[in-house]
Structure 1
């Protein structure tokens, strides 16, 4: 008789606003990739970059590289950590000026990739999917495998729900995920992201009735954000050379207008971050793509990020929005 008076309730669903506030204290996650960012995850570059030394220069690829410990740096000089910190601090000041709360994540003292926090998670409505890195060094604590533990501790400490962790033989990094709108998402398949992980992401998205399309990336392309970044609800910045032709038709079907990066900027123009609909942070040395964005009604805040991006990531790679909403 007592148990008959205590009826379990499945509704509202885990990700619904009422349930999120009651249990988790906030509406965590994002419904799309362009609403106003409220909270964002970053890692300030620091001593971990000291593992990168000039004796590892390879003139054939014009970069410092350590095959054993699995890192590279696009220069013949060791990182200028002070310059990287100056650039990163300017990024943080800009984010805070946009009324965004910044959360810092620690990283392994031997992990020079810690700055590129985007790859640690896939954020959707209600929480985060912890990803699984593909790069593993021969020594414990080297390579990117292991960043998963740092981001898990960070989001748990601030109270963010973890919806899933990529497991088994799955490999996926957050830079290969894009929410096209509230019911459609894309995931990039490459050396850093496989079908085993994509299927796990698909299962999580299916709970919220979000359709996932797999996009095979070209050649040595690693992440989908090197090919497409949403800049408004119905506009995407696109590097057309890294996408299959049918995906452009898919965007058209969804009513998303592609804004093509300008070839004169090379691959620089694509790596931007929408802080709110129609407003992005972008490189100050990709002016031609910025002009394309301006002509299509998108405001651009230019930032210097020259030294930071030598680590193989940009403004989009170095930021992971944890909360976006319209209010």
Structure 2
């Protein structure tokens, strides 16, 4: 977090140039010192677990405005090797591509493609299930998702990303969701172990879960009802599974001790970190949104 948060409350650089917190997609007036403290908490927690952390270059614009750039998982995602710079749907996210590209280049991480033209895709619902299976979906179906131009843009962006992956490894099986029909529910965000997700299969597309079970013998761990909420689309969410550090070990917010206790009861090791100003309900993303994976260990072969 940087000086971009000091711009909140001024008219936005994009139309209709409103100045409310909501126009800036904020739930409250941001406290930059607190945001930085919580960011450092997360960095320290990852480093304590042996994770190398790269900090993205700051907002280069005048005035700075990219207050959602804290959610690094949205702007770029991995291909088989190297990264792809994505093209996000929202005006508040435009401009994150440049510092992201520069940061990747400075650290020797190849950028192997960029989404161009009218194509749109962003990272939240794009995920690798293992080295040969991936999913790509519209981030969040919205009121205009059904409009023909938006629909074509979403599908064009998804196809561009999928084609980059396929060019590197034709054996990767990719499932795509255009934003109409049943949502995948960011299954990869809920993973806690190899081919294992916290959630109920009935809330996902049946053909998707049939494929997952047939291809990967996928398992779903049903959470207790009191740790689950039903969103406006009737989709069950929760508990927040954070980021997987290794099979059976996650790092997540310390906001939900009841969820932590349940995770531990089913054999999942939990590392907690205090970051509540960066995530819901005080902000608009999750701990997983805050972290974009750049490199990972090979998938375990023992099971």
TM-score (norm 2): 0.77
| Structure number with larger C-alpha Rg | 1
The answer to which structure has the higher strand fraction is 1
Structure 2 unaligned runs (5+)?
13-19, 143-152, 230-236
Q: State the distance in 1 between where 2:106 and 2:268 align.
A: 35
Q: State the distance in 2 between where 1:113 and 1:228 align.
A: 19
The correspondence of residues 119-268 of structure 1 with structure 2, limited to 5 A, is 119-136=74-91, 143-189=92-138, 190-191=140-141, 194-207=154-167, 208=169, 209-215=171-177, 224-225=185-186, 228-238=189-199, 243-253=204-214, 254-265=216-227, 266=229, 267=237
Residues 304 and 165 of structure 1: is their aligned pair in 2 closer, same or farther, counting only changes over 3 Å?
A: same
Q: State the distance in 2 between where 1:226 and 1:183 align.
A: 16
- Equivalent of 1:299 in 252, 255, 269: 269
Residues 240 and 311 of structure 1: is their aligned pair in 2 closer, same or farther, counting only changes over 3 Å?
A: farther
Task: Note if 1:322 corresponds to 2:279.
Answer: no
CA deviations on 1:190-240 (whole Å, 9 max, x unpaired) are 448811111112212223121110135579x8x953884322112123376
Q: State the distance in 2 between where 1:111 and 1:242 align.
A: 33
- Equivalent of 2:4 in 48, 52, 59: 48
1:176 deviates by 1.7
Residues 83 and 261 of structure 1: is their aligned pair in 2 closer, same or farther, counting only changes over 3 Å?
A: farther
1:324 deviates by 0.8
Residues 114 and 90 of structure 1: is their aligned pair in 2 closer, same or farther, counting only changes over 3 Å?
A: same
Residues 293 and 125 of structure 1: is their aligned pair in 2 closer, same or farther, counting only changes over 3 Å?
A: farther
Q: State the distance in 2 between where 1:260 and 1:315 align.
A: 21
Q: CA RMSD in A?
A: 3.0
Counterpart of 2:232 in structure 1 is none
Counterpart of 2:65 in structure 1 is 110
Q: State the distance in 1 between where 2:218 and 2:57 align.
A: 36
- Equivalent of 2:21 in 64, 78, 90: 64
Counterpart of 1:16 in structure 2 is none
- Equivalent of 1:73 in 26, 30, 47: 26
CA deviations on 1:169-207 (whole Å, 9 max, x unpaired) are 111111121111111111122448811111112212223
Residues 83 and 288 of structure 1: is their aligned pair in 2 closer, same or farther, counting only changes over 3 Å?
A: same
Q: State the distance in 1 between where 2:58 and 2:71 align.
A: 10
Deviates more, 1:159-168 or 1:259-268: 259-268
Residues 134 and 107 of structure 1: is their aligned pair in 2 closer, same or farther, counting only changes over 3 Å?
A: farther
Task: Note if 1:311 corresponds to 2:260.
Answer: no
Secondary structure class of the residue paired with 1:129: strand
RCO (CA 8 Å, sep 6+): is it higher in 1 or 2? 1
Structure 1 unaligned runs (5+)?
1-44, 57-62, 137-142
